[in-house]
């Protein structure tokens, strides 16, 4: 299928939900690992005892960027054996248009992503770009942990 045909097909699905992930538990081990990799050891993330006593959240919380970084995994974008489009050679994270963290993700919380197509643009005969609205829901919470617009370029 030609890139222009794929763009036309995707355009017809704008606004549709494209993915609902399984739940993933964000535990203290994950939070600590992220702190170690990023060198962000702020007590609100890694000091379980202090966070239980002093934090307004009553426990440690995930880094906002940890929550954001779960989007590729939860969105199903990292499975090389199941590309989202036929003939895809390469998918590239092109960036983000908007990111907000309306609610902290407490250690032990379960999160999942809900994704919706926002826009699609043909870049050239071998590439198109998709903007996806992604909401990271927290099990049992009304407000999400993260809302972001991801921008992905697909090369054929």
Supply the pLDDT for residue 84. Answer: 78
Supply the pLDDT for residue 78. Answer: 64
- pLDDT per residue as tens digits for the range 75-106: 877 666 777 788 888 899 999 999 999 999 99
**Count of domains forming the chain:** 1
Supply the pLDDT for residue 76. Answer: 78
| 73 assigned to some structural domain | yes
Supply the pLDDT for residue 61. Answer: 98
Residue spans of the chain under pLDDT 50: none
| 96 assigned to some structural domain | yes
> Residue 11 maps to which CATH number?
3.10.129.10
What's the pTM value of the predicted model, to 2 decimals? 0.90
Supply the pLDDT for residue 75. Answer: 86
Supply the pLDDT for residue 80. Answer: 66
Residue-number span of the structural domain to which 113 is assigned: 3-25+62-155
- pLDDT per residue as tens digits for the range 132-141: 999 999 999 9
Supply the pLDDT for residue 31. Answer: 98
Supply the pLDDT for residue 150. Answer: 97
| 123 assigned to some structural domain | yes
Contact 50, 135 (CB under 8 A): no
Which residues face 20 on adjacent strands? Answer: 114
> Per residue, what are the HEC states of 41-96?
CCHHHHCHHHHHHHCCCCCCECCHHHHHHCHHHHCCCCCCCCCCCCCCCEEEEEEE
Backbone angles phi, psi at 57, to 5 degrees: -95, -10
Supply the pLDDT for residue 81. Answer: 74
């Amino acid at each position: 299928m030609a890139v222009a045909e794929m763009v036309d097909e995707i355009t017809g699905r704008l606004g549709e939900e494209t993915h609902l992930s399984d739940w993933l538990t964000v535990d203290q081990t994950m939070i600590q690992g992220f702190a170690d990799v990023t060198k962000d050891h702020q007590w609100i993330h890694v000091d379980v005892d202090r966070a239980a006593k002093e934090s307004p959240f009553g426990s440690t919380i995930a880094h906002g960027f940890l929550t954001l970084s779960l989007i590729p995994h939860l969105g199903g974008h990292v499975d090389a054996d199941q590309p989202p489009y036929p003939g895809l050679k390469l998918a590239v994270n092109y960036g983000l248009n908007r990111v907000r963290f309306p609610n902290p993700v407490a250690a032990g919380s379960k999160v999942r992503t809900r994704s919706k197509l926002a826009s699609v643009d043909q870049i050239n005969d071998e590439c198109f770009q998709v903007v996806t609205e992604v909401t990271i829901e927290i099990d049992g919470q009304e407000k999400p942990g993260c809302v972001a617009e991801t921008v992905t370029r697909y090369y054929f």
